[in-house]
Amino acid sequence: MGTIIAVAGKGGTGKTTVAALLIRYCRDAGMVPVLAVDADPDANLPEALGIAATTSISTVGDVCEAFAHSKETLPQGMPKEAFFELSLHQALVETENIDLLVMGRPEGAGCYCYINNVLRKYLDVLPNSYCATVIDNEAGLEHLSRRTTRNTDNLLIVSDYSLNGLRAAVRIRQLANELRLDIGCVGLVVNKVTGTISDTFLHEVKKTGVPLCGVIPFDPLLQEQDVHGTPVIALPHNTPSYGAVCKIARKLLGDRNV
């Protein structure tokens, strides 16, 4: 079974960028195939990976909605669980080294207990086929709170260089503890740092009780690429932001030649 890394953080901290660059590190390090899971309803990870522009993407939420309203029209002789799992697999976008699963969320009313149970089983097994799985969560950890992914080796909480960002990081850590999620290690990543982090800020980081896993400098090239619609994953190899993510990834996954 490969390594599972979940990335969380409040909006605007660069959480999806960090997730995309972690996925790139895994690809560059030969940890392929990589499973990328977009569990944020905003669903920005496909664009960050350059997959959305070339592929028609169905979300797991779309599949759940369709299944909930078509259980009476299943193929004759096929168990409904087998048909649902087949539909889920069709939502998986497969590329050369990176496969993408976009979670989305069901929009309609009604009971999804059976659907969630099958989905949980499917997502428990799916990462076994990958060297690494990176999950881009929303700040509220809704995907993890559903327990559709119950085992996570690392939870990275992304904060920007602000006290508000740190407070949000603490709330995410508290939520993970309250849910009693099976997480191996929890670490803090401070993103978009201009210059050197002050001693005062580092003191506040220590007060959170969340170990500092790494610091990522502010990278104007990321803004430039966003303006031109260039995927995050296409960031030049020698940029400081990707170099910083590589250092973080080495702490989590071991030193690799990237």
**Structural domain includes residue 31:** yes
What is the reported pLDDT for 152? 85
Q: Write the pLDDT tens digit of every residue in 98-113.
A: 999 998 865 555 445 6
Q: Write the pLDDT tens digit of every residue in 161-177.
A: 999 999 999 988 888 88
Q: Write the pLDDT tens digit of every residue in 20-71.
A: 999 999 999 999 999 999 988 788 999 999 997 667 778 888 888 888 777 6
**Structural domain includes residue 258:** no
Q: How far apart are CA 251 and CA 246, in angstroms?
A: 9
**Structural domain includes residue 177:** yes
**Structural domain includes residue 239:** yes
What is the reported pLDDT for 182? 82
> 224, exposed or middle or buried, with CB in 10 Å at 0-12, 13-18, 19+?
exposed
Which residues, in sequence order, are CB contacts of 172 under 8 Å at separation 6+? 8, 9, 139, 141, 157
Mean pLDDT for the chain overall: 86
Count of domains observed in the chain: 1
Give the up-direction half-sphere exposure of residue 236: CA atoms within 13 A in the CB hemisphere. Answer: 8
On the question of a cis peptide bond just before residue 46, with omega within 30 degrees of 0, the verdict is no
**Structural domain includes residue 172:** yes
Q: Give Cα 26 distance to the centre of its chain.
A: 13
pLDDT band at 178 (very low <50, low <70, confident <90, very high): confident
**Structural domain includes residue 249:** yes
- The values of phi and psi at residue 70, to 5°, are -135, 20
Q: Which domain holds residue 197?
A: 3-253
The arithmetic mean of pLDDT across residues 245-252, rounded, is 95
CATH number at residue 107: 3.40.50.300
